[in-house]
Structure 1
Amino acid sequence: MNKSPGRTHEAVDPGLSPAERLALESAILAGRLLELLKQTFSQPDGSLASALSFLEASFQQAARGRPLAIWQGTAAERRSAGAAHPLDRLADGLGLSSCEVDLLLLAGLPEQHEGYADVLRALHPLAVPAATVGLAAQLFCRDADERHMLRELLHTGPAVTAGALRIAGEGPLVTRSLLVADTLWPVLGGIDAWPEAVRRREIAVGLHGLAHWLREPPTEHALSALASGMACIILLSAEDERVARHRAAALTQAAGLASVIIDLPPDPTPAVAQLIGVHALARGVVPILCLGYRNEPTTPQVPACARYPGPVLVCARPGGAAIDDLRPLLEVSCERLGPSALRSMWRGAMPELRGQAALLAARYPAEPASALAVATDARARAQWQGRRPNLDDVAASVRARAGASLQGGVKRLRPLATWEQLVLPGERLEQLREAIDRLIHQVQVLEDWGFLGGRAGARGVRLLFSGPPGTGKTLAAEVMARALAVDLLVVDLSRVVSKWLGETEKNLAEVFDTAEKASAVLFFDEADALFGRRTEISDAHDRYANLETAYLLARLERFEGLAILATNHRQNIDPAFLRRLEALVEFPEPGREERLALWRCHLPPKAPLAEDVRLTELAAHFPVVGGLIRNAAVAAAFLAAANASPVTRQHLLRAVQREYEKSGKAFPGMPGGEASTSP
Structure 2
Amino acid sequence: MMQSSWERNASREINREVGLLAGRLAEFLREKFADHEKGLEGSLRFLEHAFAGVAEGKSLEQWREPLFERIDPTAGHPLHLLLCGFGFSPCEADLLLLAGMAEEHEGFADIFRTLHPRNQPWPTVGLAAQFLCAGAGERIALRKLLTVGPAVRAGVLKLDGDEPFFLQNLMVSEMLWPVLHGIDAWPSSLAREEGMVSRHGLDDWLGEASVQKAMTALRTATNCTVLVHGDDEEAAFQRGSALAMEAGVHCLRIRLPVDPPASVDRLIGVHAMARGAVPVLRLARREEPGQLLAPQFDDFPAPVILCSMDGVGVISRHRPLMTVHCGRLTPTALRRMWERTIPPLAGQADMLAARFPVEPWCALQVAVDLESSRRSNDSPIRLDDVSSCVRGRAVTNLEGGVQLIRPQASWEHLVLPAPQLQQLREALNRLYMQGRVLDDWRFLEGRRGARGVRMLFAGPSGTGKTLSAEVLASALDVDLLQVDLSRVVSKWIGETEKNLGRVFETAERSNAVLLFDEADALFGKRTEVSDAHDRYANLETAYLLSRLERFEGLAILSTNLRQNIDAAFTRRLEFIVDFEEPSREQRLALWKCHLPQKAPLAEDVALEELAGRFAIVGGLIRNAAVAAAFLAAAENLPISKEHFISAIRREYEKSGKPYRELVEKR
**Counterpart residue type for residue 476 of structure 2:** L
One-letter amino acid matched to 1:605: Q
Instruction: Name the stretch that deviates more: 186-195 or 248-257.
Output: 186-195
Instruction: Name the CA shift for 1:423/1:35 in 2 (closer, same or farther; >3 Å).
Output: same
Listed as ranges, the gaps of 5+ residues in structure 1 are 1-12, 673-679
Partner residue, 1:271? 263
Q: 1:216-295 counterparts in 2 under 5 A?
A: 216-295=208-287
Q: Does 1:628 align with 2:638?
A: no
Matches within 5 A, 1:310-389: 310-389=302-381
Shift of 1:225: 1.6
The letter for the 2-side match of 1:178 is L
Partners of 1:583 and 1:355 lie apart in 2 by: 32
Q: 1:556 aligns with which of 548, 555, 558?
A: 548
Q: Following the alignment from structure 1 to structure 2, what is the Cα–Cα distance between the partners of residues 134 and 499?
A: 61
Q: For residues 448 and 204 of structure 1, do their structure 2 counterparts lie closer, same or farther at Cα, with a shift above 3 Å needed?
A: same
**What residue is the counterpart of 1:675 in the other structure?**
none
Q: Could you tell me how far 1:649 is from its partner in structure 2?
A: 2.2
Of the candidates 405, 408, 431, which is equivalent to residue 439 of structure 1? 431
Aligned to 1:603: 595
Instruction: Write the distance in 1 (CA, Å) between the matches of 2:58 and 2:121.
Output: 29
Q: Distance in 1 between matches of 2:459 and 2:9?
A: 73
* Offset, 1:528: 0.8
Question: Are the counterparts in 1 of residues 460 and 579 from structure 2 also a CA contact under 8 Å?
Answer: yes
- Could you say if the C-alpha distance between residues 664 and 599 of structure 1 is closer, same or farther in structure 2, counting changes exceeding 3 Å? same
Q: Evaluate the alpha carbon distance shift between residue 573 and residue 170 of structure 1 in structure 2; reply closer, same or farther with a 3 A threshold.
A: closer
CA pair 444-600 structure 1, distance change in 2 beyond 3 A: same
Provide the residue aligned with 1:101 in structure 2: 93
Would you say 1:527 and 2:522 are equivalent positions?
no
Aligned residue number for residue 9 of structure 2? 17
CA contact (8 A) 1:236 1:333 kept: yes
In the alignment, is residue 401 of structure 1 matched against residue 393 of structure 2? Answer: yes
When residues 150 and 572 of structure 1 are mapped into structure 2, their CA distance, relative to the original with a 3 A threshold, is closer
CA distance in 2, matches of 1:305, 1:325: 10
Shift of 1:144: 5.7
Distance, in Å, in 1 between the alignment partners of 2:77 and 2:573 is 60
Q: Secondary structure at the match of 2:509?
A: helix
Shift of the 531–172 alpha-carbon distance from structure 1 to 2, 3 Å rule, reads closer
Q: What percent identity do the matched residue pairs reach?
A: 55
| Contact 1:236 1:331 (C-alpha < 8 Å) held by counterparts | yes
Q: Indicate yes or no: 2:167 matched with 1:175.
A: yes
For residues 619-675 of structure 1, the C-alpha deviation after alignment (integer angstroms, 9 at most, x for no partner) is 111111111111111111111221222222222221111111111122124999xxx
- The corresponding residue for 2:648 is 656
CA 1:204–1:558 in structure 2 vs 1: closer, same or farther (change >3 Å)? farther
Distance 1:646 1:58, change over 3 A: farther
> Displacement of 1:65 after TM fit?
5.5
Aligned to 1:640: 632
Contact 1:107 / 1:131 at 8 angstroms: preserved in 2? yes
Contact 1:523 1:566 in 2 (8 A): yes
Residue 370 of structure 2 aligns to a residue whose secondary structure is helix
Corresponding residue for residue 392 of structure 1: 384
Q: 1:243 to 1:406 in 2, by over 3 A?
A: closer
| CA-to-aligned-CA distance 1:294-326 (integer Å, 9 cap, x gap) | 222111112332210011222233233223422
2:6 and 2:657 mapped to 1: Cα distance? 90
Q: How far, CA to CA, are the matches of 1:413 and 1:581 in structure 2? A: 23
The answer as to whether partners of 2:8 and 2:182 remain within 8 angstroms in 1 is: no
In 2: Cα distance, 1:172 partner to 1:522 partner: 63
Which shifted more, 63-72 or 569-578? 63-72
2:293 aligned counterpart, secondary structure: coil
Is the 8 Å Cα contact of residues 124 and 167 (structure 2) preserved in structure 1?
yes
Q: Is the CA contact (8 Å cut-off) linking 2:7 and 2:181 kept in structure 1?
A: no
1:575 aligns with 2:551: no
391, 402, 419: which one pairs with 2:411?
A: 419
Residues 169/645 of structure 1: CA separation in 2 closer, same or farther (3 Å cut): same
Post-superposition offset of 1:74: 3.8
For the 8 Å contact 1:363–1:561, the answer to whether it is kept is no
Instruction: Find the aligned partners of 2:617 and 2:25 in 1 and give their Cα distance.
Output: 93
Equivalent AA in structure 1 for residue 124 of structure 2: T
Task: Report which stretch shifted further, 236-245 or 172-181.
Answer: 172-181
Shifted more, 184-193 versus 99-108: the winner is 184-193
**Structure 1: which amino acid aligns with 2:483?**
V
Query: Secondary structure of 1:379's match?
Result: helix
The Cα offsets for residues 207-261 of structure 1, whole Å up to 9 and x where unpaired, read as: 1222222222222222222122111122222121112211211111111112223
Aligned partner of 2:528 in structure 1 is 536
How far is the alpha carbon of 1:172 from its aligned partner? Answer: 5.3
Name the CA distance, whole Å, in 1 between partners of 2:7 and 2:234. Answer: 40
C-alpha distance in 2, partners of 1:51/1:556? 73
The yes-or-no answer on 1:517 pairing with 2:512 is: no
Q: CA deviation at 1:278?
A: 0.9
Per the alignment, in what secondary structure is the counterpart of residue 452 of structure 1?
coil
170 and 579 in structure 1: CA distance in 2 versus 1, 3 angstrom threshold:
closer
Q: Match of 1:608, SS?
A: coil
Q: Which moved more, 1:436-445 or 1:636-645?
A: 636-645
Shift of residue 48, structure 1, vs aligned partner: 2.9
| Residue number in structure 2 paired with 1:303 | 295
Structural RMSD (CA): 2.4
SS at match of 1:402: helix
Q: How far is the alpha carbon of 1:505 from its aligned partner? A: 0.4
Q: Secondary structure at the match of 1:287?
A: strand
Contact 1:74 1:99 in 2 (8 A): no
Moved more, 332-341 or 438-447: 332-341
Q: What are the ranges of 5 or more consecutive residues in structure 2 without an aligned counterpart?
A: none
Match of 1:474 among 449, 466, 481: 466
Stretch of structure 1 that moved more, 60-69 or 440-449: 60-69
SS of equivalent residue, structure 2 residue 444? helix
What SS does structure 1 have at the residue aligned with 2:445? helix
Q: C-alpha displacement at 1:69, in angstroms?
A: 4.8
The alignment partner of 1:500 has SS state of: coil
> Is 2:185 the counterpart of 1:193?
yes
Return closer, same or farther for 1:556/1:47 CA change in 2, 3 Å cut-off.
farther
Q: Confirm or deny: 8 A CA contact 1:494 1:529 kept in the other structure.
A: no
2:657 aligned residue: 665
Query: Which amino acid in structure 1 is aligned with residue 339 of structure 2?
Result: R
Query: Residues 571, 447 of structure 1: CA spacing in aligned structure 2 closer, same or farther, 3 A cutoff?
Result: same
C-alpha distance in 1 between matches for 2:173 and 2:401: 48
In 1, Cα distance between the equivalents of 2:600 and 2:568? 51
TM-aligned CA distance change 1:532 to 1:494, over 3 Å: farther
1:506 to 450, 474, 498: 498
Specify whether residues 506 and 404 from structure 1 end up closer, same or farther in structure 2 by C-alpha distance, changes over 3 A only: farther
**Residue type at the aligned position of 1:637:** A
TM-score by length of 2: 0.93
- Contact 1:365/1:560 (<8 A) preserved: no
| Alignment partner of 1:153 is 2:145 | yes
Q: Displacement of 1:149 after TM fit?
A: 4.1
Any conservation in 1 of the 2:101–2:108 contact (CA below 8 Å)?
A: yes
Counterpart of 1:451, as a letter, is F
